[in-house]
Structure 1
Amino acid sequence: MLKHALEDFFHYLTVERGLSENTIKSYQRDLRQYGNFLDDSFSINDWDEVSRSHIMQYMYHLTDEGRSSATIARLLSSLRLFHQFLVREKLSSHDPSLHIETPKKERKLPKVLSMAEVDKLLNLQGNDPLTIRNRAMLEMLYATGLRVSELVSLKVTDLHLTMGFVRCFGKGAKERIIPLGDMAKEAVEDYLNRSRPSLLKKKQTEELFVNHHGNSLSRQGFWKILKAVARDVGIQKPITPHTLRHSFATHLLENGADLRAVQEMLGHADISTTQVYTHVSKTRLKDVYRSYHPRA
């Protein structure tokens, strides 16, 4: 009974909500773990038997396991959505997750690259097909703030180089249009003219970026490329694809961009998610002040 309702919920997320495969996997992991806890600890056979007390005990269990408040908040969000679904589909008569407070997250400031580090990363030397492709991908990521999953999902038809923008489909299949700077446009045009035909080896694919076999590039493949490039150009700090997204947002705000415009480009549903970058900007301003003001 428990498993049937879970499968119905995952089907709902896929078909009706149109969530990405990675997001659905995250819900599956969270809720199967939750279901296993209820089954092992209380031998619950029906979702209607679940009470607020059961969920609170699950929260305490997660805390005892050493889970962070951010992880617990995410898990609670997953099971809230699930219990709302159960009530709506009349698979349960009540929502036991109501009135349970979300643990306060420790707001960690995102790690960003300095302008000098960005220049190092983007100024790749070499004219072989893979270097041209890597230069285009990195320019695109820094110019647009795309998530890595969005970058590797881009199709050639999503490019509008003459108009200077790229179209992407983010979380929940929401479409957004993002401007593309001149340097990114040049790098992508170079890739399309001199690198992609060579990498494709006469294969046909609609994906924009391909690997050395001519197949679509995976998220893991891009991650490896980024780490290798960062190492080769001498960037010491840990770097992930999201570091470039964070840097894109922070550098825009530092140079006077409007917060709402940055929110739109990043594809954030809630502006409070974007506001973390204003804290990064303020922190860096304080560092500059302390370093250079004679009486700081």
Structure 2
Amino acid sequence: MNETINDYLHFLLIERGLSENTIKSYHQDLAEFANYLSKEHVDRFKDVNARIILNYMKYMKENGKARNSIIRFISTMRKFFKYLLRFHYIKNDPMIKIDTPKQAQHFPSVLTTKEVDRLLNTPDTNDKYGIRDRAIFEVMYATGLRVSEMVHLKMDNLHLEMGIIQTLGKGDKERIIPIGTQAIKWINFYVSSSRSKLLKNRRSDYLFLNAHGGGLSRQSIWQKIKHYVALAGINKDVTPHTLRHSFATHILENGADLRIVQELLGHSDISTTQIYTHISHEHLNQSFNKYHPRA
């Protein structure tokens, strides 16, 4: 089974051109399912039927898996068994008998503008690392970039004299994003004062560097945000994606068109962007309740 899974992951990489993170997600779902099958003494995917899959979904729920994780698993299995059928690993697709549970509605965590200001002002900008971290947070909040896009941001992606940056998003789709004066100021300050110290006479195309002069990882930015959120005294579960959510929510609250936000975030489908309209409506309700004399 592991060999079949590896063949499938290679197919996703070479034939479908999926990103490394997406393939890791598929691998995790498939490896966990294969481990379950092994415990159930099922050693071939051709022996998997709908009953086994339903039992595994029940097993996932009993072991605390979130509804959306189970939905993701079903999506992974649908694609995987279609692949197995196409290349004659199996004769029947068990997923045709499996319904997808309704997805739980999830509203992303968002910082207030005051909380964003507190977070941005927390790094010690008398320190080369603090200057770098302030620049990272300023760019994330100014552009709504995904953390994967941040770590791959290169010097030649910057066109600061025109007030824009380039990035490659999901599916290697390029987009051009405007960037505000505050973020530009902090990028220039970081490049002129800290980046050369981090390089230590080495060469790197990446904008944001670690202590060894190499590019930062997604995990390191996640850890930095957790660190500074705690220092700022913000009592929310904040991740790199929270700054992206906050970016989208705040510009919608200030009158931006939903289609513009879709373009800025790099969403292929506007239905993905519409989650932010629910947050903005909540903001309107709060404002009404606070300011209307008869609310």
TM-score (norm 1): 0.92
Q: What pairs up with 1:71-220 in 2 under 5 angstroms?
A: 71-123=69-121, 126-220=125-219
Of all paired residues, the percent bearing the same amino acid is: 49
Paired with 1:95 and 1:267, the residues of 2 have a C-alpha distance of 34
Query: How far off its partner does 1:44 sit?
Result: 4.1
Query: How far off its partner does 1:140 sit?
Result: 0.6
1:165, 1:177 within 8 Å by CA — same for their partners in 2?
A: yes
Change (3 A) 1:167 1:17: farther
Q: Deviations over 1:242-279 (max 9, x none)?
A: 11011011111111222222122222233222111111
Change (3 A) 1:56 1:142: same
Q: Which residue is 1:67 aligned to?
A: 65
Q: 1:166 aligns to what SS in structure 2? A: strand
Q: Which residue is 1:226 aligned to?
A: 225
Q: Which residue is 2:48 aligned to?
A: 50
1:133, 1:195 within 8 Å by CA — same for their partners in 2?
A: yes
Query: How far off its partner does 1:75 sit?
Result: 0.8
2:118, 2:232 within 8 Å by CA — same for their partners in 1?
A: yes
Query: How far off its partner does 1:123 sit?
Result: 3.4
Query: How far off its partner does 1:120 sit?
Result: 2.1
Q: Which amino acid aligns with 1:115?
A: T
Paired with 2:111 and 2:156, the residues of 1 have a C-alpha distance of 31
Query: How far off its partner does 1:114 sit?
Result: 0.8
Change (3 A) 1:33 1:160: same
Aligned residues: 294
Q: 2:176 aligns to what SS in structure 1? A: strand
2:5, 2:30 within 8 Å by CA — same for their partners in 1?
A: yes
Paired with 1:232 and 1:29, the residues of 2 have a C-alpha distance of 33
Paired with 1:62 and 1:234, the residues of 2 have a C-alpha distance of 35
TM-score (norm 2): 0.92
1:123, 1:135 within 8 Å by CA — same for their partners in 2?
A: yes
Paired with 2:88 and 2:264, the residues of 1 have a C-alpha distance of 39
Paired with 2:142 and 2:180, the residues of 1 have a C-alpha distance of 6
Moved more, 232-241 or 64-73: 232-241
List runs of 5+ in structure 2 lacking aligned partners: none
Q: Which amino acid aligns with 2:169?
A: G
Q: Deviations over 1:38-79 (max 9, x none)?
A: 33325242x333222322222222222232211100111111
Q: Which amino acid aligns with 2:47?
A: E
Paired with 1:89 and 1:97, the residues of 2 have a C-alpha distance of 16
Q: Which residue is 2:243 aligned to?
A: 244
Query: How far off its partner does 1:34 sit?
Result: 1.4
Paired with 1:232 and 1:62, the residues of 2 have a C-alpha distance of 36
Query: How far off its partner does 1:204 sit?
Result: 0.7
Q: Which amino acid aligns with 2:74?
A: L
List runs of 5+ in structure 1 lacking aligned partners: none
